[in-house]
Structure 1
Amino acid sequence: MSDSKENTDELAGTEQPFVQHLMELRDRLLYGIAGLGICMALLAFWPGPSGLIDLIAVPIRAHMPPDAKLIAVGVFSPFFVPLKVLAMAALLLSLPWWMYQVWAFVAPGLYSHEKKFAVPLIILGSLLAYVGIGFVQFFVLDKMFGFIQGFTPASVAATPDIASYVEAILSLYLAFGLAFQVPIVVVLLVRLNMVSIQQLKDFRGYFIVVAFIIAAVVTPPDVISQLALAIPMILLYQLGIWGAHWFVKSTAKPEDDAVEEGSSTSK
């Protein structure tokens, strides 16, 4: 009798109609949009669109003449560019809230042992995204613009357009934010039994080549930003292998632990 209870699927009878899944997805999207709107309102109040523009312009202005400013070539750039920056900053600020909505949507379909590792991965993924974007803002941009401005002839005034500048750095934020998710992807691939840790170790040499190819494609054509993306990806890949080994062991199914203990005892 006890064996039948232990073998009962804890998700049995929890299936929901497809329409109900769509309604749940709609609600989660609305909750996420509401959180995004609140973050936009807060950032619009302080530091404001102008304050955000001043913040992201610090790296390039450090390599421009003291009185030089970024220019707005487009007619509507002074309005749309700060709005774009405000929306992106609000999205980053509300990232944990969006991650929670994803978690709340998929949690009913997860087993208890799967829920145990989902929350740490969500938190770690958000933190890694922030670390990647902070790495761009406080290190990569300064070195990259210093390298690029070094090639500017003395007879040329380097006054970049604010729209092209914002587009360039937002693409870098996105690239580094996603690239810093490498440990999360590695852990998930192993935890879902799509690859083994040994296969990841064997692929390590190929990943180094892949990391440099990705860095060459998604970053500007300068050595600084390419190395700044490729090297952390390689280090994070190794960190993901270590994390996968620990994570899979600590979140194994109870029956998997029993089987592992039984096999070790028989040996």
Structure 2
Amino acid sequence: MIYFMHMPIFIYFNEIKYRSMYVFYSIITTFIIAYIFKHEVFYILSKPLGTHFIYTSLVEAFMTHLKIGLLVSIYCTFPLLLYHMWVFILPGLYLYEKKSLRIILLISILLFFLSSQLGYWYIFPVAFDFFLSFQVIGLEKLYHLELQAKMQEYLILNMQLFFSLAFCFQFPIILILLSKLKLITLSWLVQKRKYFYVLAFVLAAIISPPDVISQFIIAIPILLFFECSIFALEWIETYTKKRLETC
């Protein structure tokens, strides 16, 4: 970290300002593009539930499209944000730190996009089928009960599930970073493994719809990533010990 210690303070803040503005302009540009293609974007988001929606407020459709544009821009610029964070701290890292953080960065981006694909193609359809099962449709039924989904409420539910999944899939990255900061240790994680297993199912029950299948679809990847985190930390400790022995 010697680079940052000897770097003039105004250069330090100018670097932060430059990279923050770059990310900000990227978000604005992506937002404008997403709003221009707002109908196509909403059609893609609505596929897991259907294509029939209503709005009951005069400004609801307009505000929903603005929110969609903002969320899509955040989603698309997330890798760019991680990249600028990486480039900013890069000069102050040792060679072995650069290698490890480069791998963490790539895995974080991969898990972020993997979570959205898993949610869109598997979790959301299962969850929405569960909610749609409460409809009462048919001439032989005692009464008629049919969902007329509001576009804004659907978007909020969709994004809540999506960002919850994204956070859960970043779980191993968080554990590895906490370990690098010496806030947790590998032995502590192994010792508390059974509690993490319980926590995984508790989180899945909180953020997923109330059906067992969706909870397992969320909990199982969290547990797999937890075990991968332990394996990665074991590999990092072994590599660090070998590097220190050869020095």
Contact 2:3/2:91 (8 A) holds in 1: no
Matched, 1:243 2:226: no
- String of CA shifts for 1:55-84, please: whole Å, max 9, x gaps: 0101111xxxxxx71111222121111221
Q: CA, structure 1 residues 258+172, in 2 after alignment: closer, same or farther (shift >3 Å)?
A: closer
Question: For residue 175 of structure 1, what is the aligned residue in structure 2?
Answer: 164
Counterpart-to-counterpart distance in 2, 1:33 and 1:13 = 24
What is the 5 A alignment of 1:60-79?
Answer: 60-61=49-50, 69-79=52-62
Question: Could you tell me which amino acid in structure 1 is paired with residue 47 of structure 2?
Answer: V
How far apart are residue 111 of structure 1 and its match?
A: 2.3
Give 1:36 shift: 1.7
- 3-state DSSP class of the match of 2:52? coil
User: Gapped runs of 5+ residues in structure 2?
Assistant: 138-143
Gaps of 5+ in 1: 1-9, 62-67, 263-267
Mapping 1:51-62, distance limit 5 Å: 51-61=40-50
Contact kept? 2:112, 2:169, Cα under 8 Å: yes
Give, in whole Å, the separation in 2 of the partners of 1:82 and 1:259. Answer: 55
SS of equivalent residue, structure 2 residue 187: helix
CA distance change for structure 1 residues 101 and 12 in 2, over 3 Å: closer, same or farther?
closer
| Misfit runs of 4+, over 4 Å | none
Partner of residue 228, structure 1: 217
Whichever residue aligns with residue 7 of structure 2, its letter is: Q
1:218-253 CA-to-partner distances (Å, cap 9, x unmatched) read 334343333322221111111111122224444x3x
The more displaced of 77-86 and 13-22 is 13-22
Residues 35 and 65, structure 2, Cα contact 8 Å, conserved in 1 = no
**Structure 1 length-normalised TM:** 0.81
Offset at residue 87 of structure 1 (A)? 1.8
List per-residue Cα deviations over 1:92-147 (Å, max 9, x = no partner). Answer: 11211111111122223322221121122112101101101111111001001111
CA RMSD in angstroms comes to 2.3
**DSSP 3-state at the match of 2:178:** helix
Identity between Structure 1 and Structure 2 (%): 24
How many residue pairs get aligned? The number is 241
1:260 aligns with 2:240: no
Match of 2:140 in 1: none
Moved more, 96-105 or 107-116: 107-116
Output the TM-score relative to the length of structure 2.
0.87
Larger radius of gyration: 1
